[in-house]
Every structure is written in C-alpha cells, then in structure tokens.
Amino acid sequence: MSALFEPYTLRSVTIPNRVWMAPMCQYSAGVSGPDAGVATDWHFAHYAARAAGGTGLILLEATAVSPEGRISPADLGIWNDTQVEALRRITGFLKAQGSVPGVQIAHAGRKASTDRPWKGGGPLRPEDHGWQPVAPSALPFDEGHLLPHELTTQEIHEVVGQFAAATRRALDAGFQVVEIHGAHGYLISEFLSPFSNHRTDEYGGSFENRSRFALEVVDAVRAVWPEELPLFFRISATDWLTENPEDEREGWTADDTVRFADELLAHGVDLLDVSTGGNAPRARITTGPGYQVPFAARVKAETSLPVAAVGLITDAGQAEKILANGEADAVLLGRELLRNPSWARHAARELGGEVATPQQYHRMV
C-alpha cells in the first residue's frame, strides 16, 4: 500500500489520502459592497476540479477574518453571512466528491491593501480603494509600502474575537478543517518574529510575549471549533535570516518553530503546516525540490505534533519518499495542482493507490 494513499485520521475526520491542496490565493472574490469577499464561480470551478481529481484535503485560500485583514480587495472573506452562503456551495460539492473541505482563516497585517499580483501587487493607498494596514509595530513591510497602524491592546483583543467569529462561520459553511494562518509575514507571523515585532508590552520582546497573540487566537478558535474537528496552524519555520551568516537581521528561527510546536500541541492544535519565509524582504532563500521539507521533518522528529510538508513537491515518487521516510504525515501541493488538477489520480495510478473517481469519469480509469 502506498503511504501517499493511506487514509489519515485526525480527531473524528478521516482524510482519504495524504495528497492535500495547499492554500493559494486566487484574488478573484467580489471587491466592494455586498459582494466584497464573496466567492465567485471561479472559486467553485477551481476547487471542484481538484476534488474531482482525487485530492484528499482541499484547504481554501487565505480567507480574511475582517475587511482590513485582506491582502487585496479581491480576497475571500469570512466576516459575514453572505460570504458563508457562497462557501457552503463549494464545501457541499467537495464532500460529494470524497474530499475533505478545509479553510485557512487569515489576517494580512502589514502586508494588506495591495493590488492583485497580475496588476503588479503594489500597495493600494486609500484613494485607490486601499486602506491603512495594521501590525504589531508601526513598521512598513518594505520600502514603498504603507505605514501600518500599531495595534493597541484592545485592538489585539478585537482581532482575536474576529478569528473566533470567522471560525463559527467556517463551521456554518460546512468546513471540516480550520487552519490558522500564522505564516508568510502576515499578522500572526509578524507578532511571532522579532524582525517585525518591536513592541515593549506583553505582546513583544521575549519569545513568550511574541507568542502570546498567536496562542490567544488558537485558544479562541479552539473554544468555538467543535472538539471532534481538527485544527491546523500554518507557520513559516524560518524567516531565512539566521540561515545566512552575512544577514545580521534577527528573525524567527527553526529552533523557535520546534519550541512553538510544543506550545501549539498543548493548546489543541492537531497538525502543523510547515512553510517558510515571507516576513523579511530580500531574505536569501535556497530553493529546490522539497526545499522546505527538512523544516517539517525536524518538527516531526523533535515533537509529538503531526506535520504536513510543502514546497516544490511535484513528483509522485518524491512525495511517497517524504512520507515513507517519516519526514511528514502528509504533503501539500501548490503550483503542481494548479498545473494538474488530477495529480492525485495520476499519482495513484503510478504508485498503485486508489482515489475516489466521479461516475462521469469511470470510463477514463
């Protein structure tokens, strides 16, 4: 039996295989008025195709817990009930195809209010339908980016409440997995890293203080997310600063990630989705096939928290080896699933596994 096509159970949810779809923003939601943040036919077709292709778990893209938490005006949102109704249509179809639907709830922090990538991705100022971002500290992400508002303690508590409210809506929308986005230089990641968090109160300074906001979000989400359903946390295992001796900037490290994984487990997180980077502009990142897998493997080896690996995983044999070697419990595919929505079915054929096949496709099997 191929390890890649063994079912995987977390709490009461059994995911039919270990081929999972990583969250990837589509920047295709409604942008204003009652349609703001609402999923469109593009989202339905996009996710439905991967479910029909045999993907075991589909994690919807970063879905904002508030309007100002969007990366761009065209991001998905989950701060009102109109958005829930559109998402329910997607989750219903995914379940019907045998896939488990999950959603990544997110706040973009100081990286908010930017244009769609195909329009340059630059910052959008209020006069261009943008808004002032918020952050742990009044530090812009990079040169030319907007100066964020430094969150007050009261505002931090309000954001925690927004994550909890989004989680309730995720349940109403039919999701079976919630993932908290704590990676890639967005708000939670900004609090974790000393590179972006220069606060001197209880949310800054020490590791414990910088971790406080993330754990408060986890606790608030876990309190309203049913006990029988799994909770994921996505992390950037490193800012890629300490890996480069010539870069003197201080950031979040792989050692921090291992330490934090134990905290997440104690607070009710069921799996760590291990990515890297995104918080420090111009960090030197050494890429290649599976370049982020060693970070996931270290968490798996040194803690009891299950992990999923991501990052240039493209080949069925490569994915199988990651699992067979015990480096991760599942693999998350990104761009490869954009290129080939039926990657899971093709990999199953190659490795001798099985995936659910729509009746309409039986003649192709």
49 DSSP β-pair partners: none
Provide the 3-class DSSP secondary structure of residue 21.
strand
Q: What is the mean pLDDT of residues 227-243?
A: 95
Residue with tokens 């925690």: 160
pLDDT score for 359: 87
The pair of structure tokens assigned to 182 is 């704590």
pLDDT score for 304: 98
| Residue 29, domain CATH | 3.20.20.70
- Residue pair 347/333 in contact (Cβ under 8 Å)? The answer is no
The whole-model pTM stands at 0.96
Domain span holding position 220: 3-364
- Residue pair 31/333 in contact (Cβ under 8 Å)? The answer is no
Q: Give pLDDT tens digits for 294-341.
A: 999 999 999 999 999 999 999 999 999 999 999 999 999 999 999 999
pLDDT score for 177: 98
60 CB-contact burial (10 Å; exposed 0-12 / middle 13-18 / buried 19+): buried
Q: Quick check: is 186 catalytic?
A: yes
Average per-residue pLDDT for the chain:
96
| pLDDT for residue 82 is more than 70 | yes
Q: Total domain count for the chain?
A: 1
* Torsion sign, CA atoms 149, 153, 158, 164: positive
- Annotated catalytic residue within 27, 47, 186, 203: 186
